[in-house]
Amino acid sequence: MPSRTTVSQRISDAARHRDIRFLLHFTLTRNLSSIVQHGILPREVLYPADFTAYAGAQHRLDANDQAVSFSISSASQNIFSAKSRDSRQAEWVMLFIDPSILWTHNCRFCCRNAATREMRDHRGFLGGPWAFEQMFSDEMAPTRFKGQSYRAETGIPSFLPTDPDAEVQIIGSVSADQIIGAWTCRNDDAAAIQDELNRLPGPERDILVEDFHTVSNGYSGWIVPRFML
């Protein structure tokens, strides 16, 4: 069995080869203050906590309250729209997270939404290089695609997962120090977000202010910052 060091290095090498510069975690803007203070925490920690956190949905659809969900280089247009609609909140922030958590934290690499039956019933190991690369496989193409090579023929960049709903589940918490920036579509929120992130140690984190821009290959939609395109 490969050592943990070998596994981590293989994931790190694969992420760098794909030019993965960040993960995204979206949350209600009013959660940012507690995230900066306590980190990004799973629900099982938040339930008994002595501070308030606001959920975008009442329950996790995958029922995994030990996990926090992130997406690679983008956010799912379908999932974000559904969360926004269900919460009836317009003020969201997307946090850019250091991609090193892919190989330093306990991850489950889900090539589909973790709430799908395919992922919930999966009994194999999802924490290694195979599961990571599966997120970028042509096997994840929509059934209506009838070509030969889905990613190549529809122009999906190397850093985007094949299925926009794919997610990385971190089992446990993620320190706020892993936040490397934030993205808001509301200019009115930018200064307050910057003030919160300025409480973090280390270099100043930049705030991106632009629409949550969706790109499509004709089959699916990814929310991607324009500087990646």
**Tens place of pLDDT for every residue, the chain, 229 residues?**
466 679 999 999 999 999 999 999 999 999 999 999 999 999 786 655 544 455 544 444 444 578 999 999 999 999 999 888 877 766 999 999 999 999 999 999 999 999 999 998 888 899 999 999 999 999 999 999 999 999 999 999 999 999 999 999 999 999 999 999 999 999 999 999 999 999 999 999 999 999 999 999 999 999 999 999 9
pLDDT recorded at residue 36: 97
pLDDT recorded at residue 58: 46
pLDDT recorded at residue 47: 55
pLDDT recorded at residue 60: 42
Whether the CA torsion 102, 16, 81, 162 is positive or negative: it is: negative
H/E element holding 181?
strand 179-184
State how beta strands 179-184 and 206-209 pair: parallel
Cα–Cα nearest to 167, from 40, 63, 76: 76
Residue 134 three-state SS: helix
Whether the CA torsion 67, 69, 72, 78 is positive or negative: it is: positive
Cα–Cα nearest to 180, from 159, 201, 209: 201
- How far is Cα 130 from Cα 134, in angstroms, rounded to an integer? 6
pLDDT recorded at residue 65: 79
pLDDT recorded at residue 88: 73
Q: Which residues pair with 107 in a beta bridge?
A: 170
Structure tokens at 118: 């395919």
Residue 199 burial (CB count, 10 A): 11
- Residue 14 phi, psi dihedral angles, 5° rounding: -65, -40
User: For tokens 């003030």, what's the residue?
Assistant: 195
Helices (H), the chain: 4-17, 32-38, 43-46, 77-87, 101-104, 117-120, 129-134, 150-154, 187-197
Residue 28 three-state SS: strand
pLDDT recorded at residue 80: 93
